[in-house]
Amino acid sequence: MPKTNYSPIIIFALFYLIIDSYVVSGIKVLFLTITTESQLVVYFWWVFSLSVLFYFTKVFSKALSDRKMNSSFQLALNIFLALLFSKLVFIAFLFTEDVYRAILYFSKSIFHHHMLFPMRSIWFSSLGFLTSLSSCFVFIFGITSGKYHYKVHHQTLYFDDLPEAFDGFTIAQISDIHAGSFDNPKEVLKGIHLINAQKPDLFLFTGDLVNNKASEIEPYLELFKQIKAPYGCFSVLGNHDYGDYMAWPNQLEKDNNLKLLKTYHRELGYELLLDEHRVIHKNGQHISVVGVENWGHGFGQRGDLEKALNGLRQDDFKVLLSHDPSHWDAEVKSNPLKIHLTLSGHTHGMQFGIEIGNFKWSPVKYRYPNWAGLAHFNGRYLYVNRGFGFLGFSGRIGIWPEITIINLKRNDR
């Protein structure tokens, strides 16, 4: 097994300490009038914050070396992220005021040579502290309720060459179940009932059934078996399904795990597409559902698109299942054989962000240009599902778990 590189942990720990130093400067302002108590609060803060840092780095280092995310890791990550986010909110207030203080100082010092640098406002620091405290409650909601706060996203797409028989045909898509992260089967069942309530014609799953091991889906087999669609249920594999992110005793066990996972797809009633396609017939006309193994920048490039398309013609209407949206940019959207609609997942919308009306933002946008929702290029569409489950951070804030309903419409001119 390759040696674990701990340099990212050290760099992040230093970054964490710099952030805390800035936070302490704001805490001192809040308790400025009572000097003794102020110092005690600072000592308490450093002990508390360093304890959290030590606990997190210890658990994270073990998870990194074992290549396994257990419940201890999830707990440590949840606590760490909640505190880190609240600190950053507090710092945003402090920094804004510091910029104002600096501008005020330099503008006035031109005329007053002995101008003192303005003190921080206790009122503004208090506002920042209360806002950062409120952000902790946002994280608590995300961890307790947000991760099961299922949302249905409806999307109607128009095509000139959609077969008439499929005008109004509906597709339900979910992605990134990550069954090993679930902790409440009753809440998961609510999401499954919500899928069936949409009465889709076709159900498509775009990968990452588990985190690492096939056995993670076992407690939820009977639940996901309940998903039904008259024209079938189809699926593909995601990067986590191959078991690449944990240490296996040997290659044989890893291979057997993948075989078992494929068996579970069949038990769920999902026809797993491994670089192949299937034809869906309706009233003498047809569309094709194409599925590739995982292909993504930085996450393995197993999929063979040309193999999956073999036998299809230019005028065949095609729906492609490809787990990672980076595949669309790299190989799909400019493929000589037109692929009308690609469905992906993978990003989870980072499980954190803001969506208000048509505005959406998440840090994951700096890694994936297409990270949630619809993209369009030259008559070809990509839809990126925000994920049904969660991974690592066992919560969701602002980017809720998604059930996608796509309505195919013929564009009759």
pLDDT for 293-329, tens place per residue? 999 999 999 999 999 999 999 999 999 999 999 999 9
Q: Are residues 177 and 299 in the same domain?
A: yes
Distances (CA, A) of 310 to 154, 258, 288: 31, 25, 12
Give the whole-angstrom CA distance, residue 242 versus residue 261. 9
Instruction: Confirm if 360 and 376 have CB atoms less than 8 A apart.
Output: no
Compute and round to an integer the Cα radius of gyration of the chain. Answer: 25
CA angle 337, 206, 189 (to 5 degrees): 150
Residue 393 lies in a domain: yes
Beta bridge partners of 154: 405
Residue 268 lies in a domain: yes
Q: Are residues 297 and 331 in the same domain?
A: yes
Q: Which two tokens stand for residue 363?
A: 């840090």
Q: Are residues 271 and 358 in the same domain?
A: yes
Residue 328 lies in a domain: yes
Burial class of residue 339 in the structure, from the number of CB atoms within 10 Å of its CB (0-12 exposed, 13-18 middle, 19+ buried): buried
Q: Are residues 133 and 176 in the same domain?
A: no
Q: What CATH number does residue 340 fall under? A: 3.60.21.10
Residue 200 lies in a domain: yes
Residue 285 lies in a domain: yes
Among 121, 142, 163, identify where a domain stops: 142
Q: Which two tokens stand for residue 402?
A: 């998604």
For the chain, report the end-to-end CA distance as a whole number of angstroms: 61
Domain that holds residue 182: 146-410
Q: Which DSSP state fits 328?
A: I
Among 81, 113, 142, identify where a domain stops: 142
Instruction: Confirm if 294 and 316 have CB atoms less than 8 A apart.
Output: no
Q: Are residues 218 and 360 in the same domain?
A: yes
- Name the domain count of the chain: 2
The helix (run of H) or strand (run of E) holding residue 53 is: helix 35-66
Nearest to 372 by CA among 405, 350, 389: 350
Q: Are residues 200 and 326 in the same domain?
A: yes
pLDDT for 168-192, tens place per residue? 999 999 999 999 999 999 999 999 9
Alpha helix segments (H runs only) across 161-314:
185-197, 221-224, 251-268, 305-309
Among 94, 110, 142, identify where a domain stops: 142
Residue 1 lies in a domain: no
pLDDT score of 3: 55
Q: Are residues 250 and 102 in the same domain?
A: no
Q: Are residues 180 and 320 in the same domain?
A: yes
pLDDT for 195-236, tens place per residue? 999 999 999 999 999 999 999 999 999 999 999 999 999 999
Q: Are residues 246 and 392 in the same domain?
A: yes
Give the whole-angstrom CA distance, residue 281 versus residue 165. 9
Predicted TM-score (pTM) of this structure: 0.88
Helices (H) and strands (E) in the chain, counts: 9, 14
The helix (run of H) or strand (run of E) holding residue 95 is: helix 71-109
Range with the poorest average pLDDT among 106-120, 137-151, 264-278, 381-395:
106-120
